[in-house]
Amino acid sequence: MRIDGLQYANWSEKIFRQLREGGVDAVHVTIAYHENFRETVLNFEHWNRWFEQYPDLIMKGLGVDDIDTARATGRTAVFFGFQNPSPIEDDIGLVEIVHSLGARFMQLTYNNQSLLATGCYEAEDAGLTRMGKQVVREMNRVGLVVDMSHSADRSTIEAAEWSERPIAITHANPHDWAPALRNKRDAVIRAVTENGGMFGFSVYPYHLKGKSGCTLEDFCEMIARAAERYGPEHLGIGTDLCQDQPDSVVEWMRVGRWTKQIDYGEGSKSDPGFPPMPLWFQDNRHFGNIEVGLRATGLNETEVAGIMGDNWYRFFSESFAPSTKREEFGSGN
Amino acid sequence: MRIDGLQYANWSEKIFRQLREGGVDAVHVTIAYHENFRETVLNFEHWNRWFEQYPDLIMKGLGVDDIDTARATGRTAVFFGFQNPSPIEDDIGLVEIVHSLGARFMQLTYNNQSLLATGCYEAEDAGLTRMGKQVVREMNRVGLVVDMSHSADRSTIEAAEWSERPIAITHANPHDWAPALRNKRDAVIRAVTENGGMFGFSVYPYHLKGKSGCTLEDFCEMIARAAERYGPEHLGIGTDLCQDQPDSVVEWMRVGRWTKQIDYGEGSKSDPGFPPMPLWFQDNRHFGNIEVGLRATGLNETEVAGIMGDNWYRFFSESFAPSTKREEFGSGN
């Protein structure tokens, strides 16, 4: 089983076919960065049309049953997520609404301060806000996973501890391996995994040691070391593949509507676009390379299978259904 | 089993308890008249909060499994509908979106011309529009029932014939029994029922012979005659109970934002509000009266059980799931 914990491609029949060629059974796709609720609905609609257009390649993913169906019918199950809480605006009631529409992951922040928490590019990290605490509880209730990939350290640790269900960092790498601002320090990864959460390793070149020149061996050795440190069962892949996107989309991701100036994020004025992907992971067809690389590190078959997909499968199975815990209505925190 | 094909009450714990006292296993409730999509989302949210607040009385209804669960746990399953296509605005993609959010019925018109068809108060009825035909097909595909309760004759007959799945008139009575503008002529009821659809009898006084003074015997005799004419298996109850609503809501229903003048609909300047309900159906606790009245007409037990709920149950079971018919994408009509 192969599951990718995050992609944001410029989707097309070509990429859907590459998902099949790479044997990707399920993928979490970003459908919103800075879109408000109404704009996000249009993105759901866009995916609904793709599911109609390419019923032999992809299908909507709401629960792990859909991964089973996808595998049985040779398709990829697509699970939706947001990289920012913009789609819920300032309304906690929209958490259940977006879950009904199929959202299964939501980042509490995308680099900047949000209404809920602090992003990893802010100078000060005040942790979860009042609304943030309420929204995490509501996400727990309906089955929307808290994703802290772009959040700051304190906010992430607080989210891992405050959340009643395991959370995720869907796409990042350890900071002590590649010191990008977006990569995660030991205490952060520990807080997430010790609370039952998942950490997905990114192939986005700015998160790799040596960037686009990072070798498969280096990448997989890093994963093997993380398995020793955090337990292999908490690890997965979250490639952050942003295939075929024009630079205008990189700009939307980084700048949204929050500034009138250009913010280059991890890029620079001379290098504003997406960096080239490493040779061993050009697109979804290369998923098998990672599996081969992981075996070569000495991880055993169960561990490799876990990291390639079984761990996400287990996490999905525990995360997307409404909580069975009966809440007293109105018992706030 | 007791199922009500339409209510629009000013919902409260009191009314939810009355649903239970009346043994109502499922009810189709109106959650939008003239609300646009964004406003309708707030109405979904409002119901989500009620489901949280009153988990022992009500639960969200998406399919007949939910009616089974509701019966097994002593609750009422609530199914959502719109009395007008305002929530989908001018976007066919919103049909699947509102279905994902739980909508199961949508009227193509509410008295006036809509983007889809003609309402029963218009002078001219041009039938289904271009968009109307496309939207009916999309409603068929996703499992959203076409409801023509407030539509004009030609539009209704065309919808019954154009739709690939049975449609409904959830709440009205035969025009030859009570000649209200909203009641339905024989050819209209015939078109709906002969195509497998359902007709729900209304207790709204303006649709009754003798209005608020209509007797239970008269009402049930009318149903028995309709059973002879259209077949008892196509008939149900759709009370149109609008309990505890202030006159401002009647005005919203009739006037929305489409005119700056007051339209009194079936009322008048001297009588602008809701008329008093007949003594034998004051609220949901009186559901049993209709059952007793139907038995007294000589209808047999199977027929009575069908009209009280089994027929809606069968119709719901066939109507709310996505179509299994595989469409060629882009094959328009």
pLDDT of residue B265: 79
How many other CB atoms are there within 10 angstroms of residue B285's CB atom? 16
Strands B26-32 and B58-60: unpaired
What does the pLDDT look like over B9-30, one tens digit per residue?
A: 999 999 999 999 999 999 999 9
Residue B309 has pLDDT above 80, yes or no: yes
Q: Which of A38, A100, A329 sits opposite B53 (nearest CB)?
A: A329
Higher pLDDT, A4 or B329: A4
Nearest CA in chain B to A330: B53
Q: Are B79 and B27 in contact (CB under 8 A)?
A: yes
Residue B158 has pLDDT above 50, yes or no: yes
CA B94 – CA B85 distance, rounded (Å): 10
Q: Suggest the residue from B101, B104, B325 to mutate for an interface test with chain A (most A CBs closer than 10 A).
A: B101
Residue B157 has pLDDT above 60, yes or no: yes
The residues with which B198 forms a beta bridge, in sequence order, are: B168
If pLDDT is split at 50, 70 and 90, which confidence band does B268 have?
confident
Q: What is the length of chain A?
A: 333
> What single string gives the DSSP state of each residue in B137-200?
HHHHHHT-EEE-TTB-HHHHHHHHHH-SS--EEEEE-BTTTS--TTSB-HHHHHHHHHTT-EEE
Residue A329 has pLDDT above 60, yes or no: no
CA A186 – CA A169 distance, rounded (Å): 13
Are residues A101 and B96, on separate chains, in Cβ contact within 8 Å? no
What does the pLDDT look like over B36-48, one tens digit per residue?
A: 999 999 999 999 9
Q: Which of A41, A55, A96 sits opposite B97 (nearest CB)?
A: A41
Residue A140 to chain B, least CA–CA distance (Å):
14
How many other CB atoms are there within 10 angstroms of residue A330's CB atom? 7
| Amino acid, res. A122 | E
CA B206 – CA B189 distance, rounded (Å): 19
Residue A330 has pLDDT above 70, yes or no: no
pLDDT of residue A333: 40
Average pLDDT over all residues of chain B = 95
The residues with which A59 forms a beta bridge, in sequence order, are: A77
> What Cα–Cα distance (Å) separates residue A220 from each residue in A177, A199, A322, B36?
12, 14, 35, 51
pLDDT of residue B326: 61
What does the pLDDT look like over B168-227, one tens digit per residue?
A: 999 999 999 999 999 999 999 999 999 999 999 999 999 999 999 999 999 999 999 999
* B69 at interface of A, judged by CB pairs closer than 8 A: no
Q: Which of A49, A100, A327 sits opposite B100 (nearest CB)?
A: A100
Average pLDDT over all residues of chain A = 95
* A10 at interface of B, judged by CB pairs closer than 8 A: no
Overall average pLDDT of the B299-320 stretch = 98
> What single string gives the DSSP state of each residue in A104-125?
EEEES-SSS--SSS-BTT-S--
Query: Which of helix, strand or coil describes residue A168?
Result: strand
- Cα-atom radius of gyration of chain A, to the nearest Å? 18
Nearest CA in chain A to B92: A45
Exposed, middle or buried: residue B272 (CB in 10 Å: 0-12, 13-18, 19+)? middle
- Interface A–B counts its CB contacts (< 8 A) at 49
Residue A77 to chain B, least CA–CA distance (Å):
17
CA angle A61, A63, A64 (to 5 degrees): 100
Residue A332 to chain B, least CA–CA distance (Å):
14
Domain B3-83+168-319 fold is TIM Barrel (3.20.20)
pLDDT of residue B333: 39
Tell how far CA B35 is from the center of its chain: 17
Higher pLDDT, B331 or A179: A179
pLDDT of residue A269: 84
Residue A155 has pLDDT above 60, yes or no: yes
How many other CB atoms are there within 10 angstroms of residue A233's CB atom? 18
If pLDDT is split at 50, 70 and 90, which confidence band does A156 have?
very high
The token pair that represents A210 in the structure block: 């040596």
B48 vs A contacts (CB less than 8 Å): 93, 96-97
pLDDT of residue B30: 98
Overall average pLDDT of the B253-277 stretch = 86
Phi, psi dihedrals of residue B80, rounded to the nearest 5°: -95, 145
Domain A3-319 fold is TIM Barrel (3.20.20)
Contacts of B214 (CB under 8 A, 6+ apart): B205, B208, B278
* B58 at interface of A, judged by CB pairs closer than 8 A: no
Q: Are A25 and A3 in contact (CB under 8 A)?
A: yes
Higher pLDDT, A262 or B113: B113
B49 vs A contacts (CB less than 8 Å): 93
Q: Which of A52, A97, A101 sits opposite B45 (nearest CB)?
A: A97
Place of tokens 């999309």: B138
CA A159 – CA B226 distance, rounded (Å): 61
CA angle B54, A320, A254 (to 5 degrees): 115
The token pair that represents A216 in the structure block: 């498969």
Q: Are A158 and A127 in contact (CB under 8 A)?
A: yes
Are residues B48 and A96, on separate chains, in Cβ contact within 8 Å? yes
Contacts of B279 (CB under 8 A, 6+ apart): none
Overall average pLDDT of the A171-181 stretch = 97
Phi, psi dihedrals of residue A75, rounded to the nearest 5°: -125, 175
Q: Are B307 and B233 in contact (CB under 8 A)?
A: no
Q: Which of B55, B91, B100 sits opposite A102 (nearest CB)?
A: B100
Higher pLDDT, B264 or B307: B307
ipTM: 0.91
Residue B86 has pLDDT above 70, yes or no: yes
Query: Which of helix, strand or coil describes residue A240?
Result: coil
Residue A97 to chain B, least CA–CA distance (Å):
7
